[in-house]
Structure 1
Amino acid sequence: MATIRKRGTKWQCIVRREGRTASKSFERRADAMKWGSAVEAQADAIGGGLPKPASKQADALQLTLADALRRLTNEMPGERWRLEALARSKLARSQIEALTAKDVSTWRDVRLQDAKPSTVVRELSLMQTAIDRVLGDSGSDANPVRHAKRPRSKEQRDRRLTEDEWRRLLQAADECLNPYVKPLLVLARETAMRRGELLSMGWKHVDFDACMVFLPRTKNGHSRLVPLSPTAVEVLRALPNTEARVLPLSANSVSLPH
């Protein structure tokens, strides 16, 4: 039997048959029920299983979660090691179409035994983004990670470096063999951009006239504009514009001691 539930201002209908899932959202509950009945009738007519979805989404549903996570590494190089670790998990062996919110919740509960809530929330967000990317906008409602409850995190990180700490950090950066480390630190402080956003920032998205940088894809999956302070503009103008990325560094080169 079809499942009808309220999601925001819309009604979502979900039909599951023989390991396959079909879902669609409607403005009215009656329309969702009508669609669900039609899909179930069609399934009964062809022997009980749901008809295969459109080719692009069908191909996506056949992928495993590991496939989706590894595809995301090209878009989020700063999260490469975390994505690879998630791709090696038992949960990631499952095909996306067979994955359920219960499976994700079970993984979450086990993971919480070894990791902080904030870490688990971050990993769930990566899984959700990975599946959203391969399903596309039309299939995001079928993403099981979206329906798994996030653990509450009481960790707060609102401490800023003192001026003395900042001065000593820059002195240490001056001694670093990698010439991009100090510019990265200054840009991080001036823009509040995440490490992954800084490492993926491209010259084609830097607008010196408007003092803005465009981020086409951020951690939460949306694009945004980041204003550049005079100091940030000065740092960017001093960098060599010889590669596609502003800061051609790997995530490890930023994380590991130099």
Structure 2
Amino acid sequence: MATIVQTPSGKWKAVIRKHGWPTATKTFRIQKDALTWARQVEVEMDRGVYIDRSHAERLTFDKALSRYLSEVVPTKKPATQETDRYCAEPLRAYFGKYSLAAISPDLVASYRDKRLTTPIQRVDRATRKPRILLDPVTGQPRTLSANTVRLELALLSHLFNTAIREWRLGLVRNPVSGIRKPSPGEGRDRRLRGNEEARLRHALTSYSNPMLGWIFDIALETGMRSGEIAGLRLHQVDVRRRVVRLTITKNESARTVPLTRRAAEVFALALDNPTRPEGCDLVFFGEPGRDGKRRPYTFAKVWNGIKTSLGLGDLHFHDLRHEAVSRLVEAGFSDKEVSAISGHKSMQMLKRYTHLRAEDLVDRLDAAEAIKAKGAPKEKST
């Protein structure tokens, strides 16, 4: 039976003591609310479905997110950690003051809709002030992509799953599971066009650090991801046998990547880098950090600056992987062979990277027609 008492501060405290259940208490400003809560809890106890939500009601999203970032995120891969920390900021700004128990599917849906209409802003290098990016075709403000919002919702969902399964906070359900997710994009199909490859190679090889040009060539020759290239250790590269052994990959499946002659030549230059510090086993190494340790060479800022200066702002480094895999398909490699090189587990995912140029297909159709015409038997004259 519930006991309702008034506290010295004038509030109303409901206390429920029931055999087989821990004591449940909660304080309200109005006596009516205390009575309503007590009746609801007693019914749930009678049905055997009562869950103590007090921890989730006291814990704000801001504190829960901080705990998630300090305990869970460090266990993920470095690239995922960076993405999670980036996605965490808008989530903190929107949900920070809410308790975990107060975050409902309706609130998450409102966040989704707001983010899908949020203009993209970048800091102007000249004025140091944020500016809204405009679509070059329509002239309208560019908004966040559906994939960006999906990543943010995925982080939010995993936080709630962790709170439910690991932290045992008494949450009834994950509010993200009750909403519609934005449709995923079709995927990028950007290829190098015209003299873009030559212009990029000239600019990158002219840069003071030769590792930038080597990384560009290796990406284009092997189709490896930027993180796979940057994290390479000396023992993983076998120039004589022309293979690279990858142990840490995006899909957690180790693979051996065969090297073209050009890729082997570039790796040979990288392994013989005269500026390599003694004891450093990274193929592409950066400057030592505050702790004195050297970490993989971070080239994103320089890469972005160079490609933008060449008018190639729409080109992403990951597009080089798309280019490399597409070239393998155009060279006649089977899907299975391409998958073994690129590391794609899903054939459906591989199709995103194998959009062939229409003009190349036209040439192949012409060649097929020529072979067909040459081999067709001539009609007998009557």
Give, in whole Å, the separation in 2 of the partners of 1:95 and 1:82: 22
Structure having greater relative contact order (Cα 8 Å, sep ≥ 6): 1
Aligned to 1:257: 305
Of 150-159 and 160-169, deviating more is 150-159
Aligned to 1:242: 280
Aligned to 1:65: 65
CA contact (8 A) 2:247 2:254 kept: yes
Aligned to 2:109: 105
SS of the residue 1:64 aligns to: helix
Q: Give the alignment's TM-score, normalised by structure 2.
A: 0.40
Percent identical across equivalent pairs? 23
**Which letter does structure 2 place at the counterpart of 1:107?**
Y
CA contact (8 A) 1:131 1:143 kept: yes
Cα drift, residue 171 of structure 1: 1.0
Distance 1:84 1:225, change over 3 A: same
Choose the corresponding residue for 2:236, options 206, 210, 214: 206
SS of the residue 2:305 aligns to: coil
Give, in whole Å, the separation in 2 of the partners of 1:133 and 1:234: 47
Q: Give the alignment's TM-score, normalised by structure 1.
A: 0.55
Aligned to 2:202: 171
**Which letter does structure 1 place at the counterpart of 2:203?**
A
Aligned to 1:158: 189
Cα drift, residue 111 of structure 1: 0.3
Distance 1:161 1:229, change over 3 A: farther
SS of the residue 1:157 aligns to: coil
Of 99-108 and 160-169, deviating more is 99-108
**Which letter does structure 2 place at the counterpart of 1:215?**
I
Whether 1:124 and 2:153 are equivalent positions in the alignment is yes
SS of the residue 2:247 aligns to: strand
Distance 1:133 1:49, change over 3 A: closer
Give, in whole Å, the separation in 2 of the partners of 1:170 and 1:120: 34
Give, in whole Å, the separation in 1 of the partners of 2:267 and 2:302: 18
Give, in whole Å, the separation in 2 of the partners of 1:193 and 1:118: 22
CA contact (8 A) 1:65 1:131 kept: no
Give, in whole Å, the separation in 2 of the partners of 1:164 and 1:172: 12
Give, in whole Å, the separation in 2 of the partners of 1:245 and 1:80: 27
**Which letter does structure 1 place at the counterpart of 2:107?**
D
Distance 1:202 1:195, change over 3 A: closer
CA contact (8 A) 1:205 1:215 kept: no
Give, in whole Å, the separation in 1 of the partners of 2:158 and 2:237: 28
Distance 1:225 1:90, change over 3 A: same
Give, in whole Å, the separation in 1 of the partners of 2:248 and 2:212: 20
Distance 1:159 1:184, change over 3 A: same
- Matched length: 207
Q: Which runs of 5+ in 1 are unaligned?
A: 1-17, 19-39, 53-58
Distance 1:202 1:63, change over 3 A: farther
Cα drift, residue 161 of structure 1: 0.7
Equivalence map 1:3-152=2 (5 Å): 44=45, 50=51, 64-69=64-69, 72=73, 75-76=78-79, 78-79=82-83, 82-83=86-87, 85-86=89-90, 88-92=92-96, 99-114=103-118, 115-128=144-157, 144-145=175-176, 147-152=178-183
Give, in whole Å, the separation in 1 of the partners of 2:166 and 2:146: 28
Of 107-116 and 233-242, deviating more is 233-242
Cα drift, residue 226 of structure 1: 4.5
* Aligned Cα root-mean-square deviation (Å): 4.8
| Deviation per residue, 1:84-109 (Å, 9 max, x gap) | 53354222555666644443322111
Cα drift, residue 164 of structure 1: 2.5
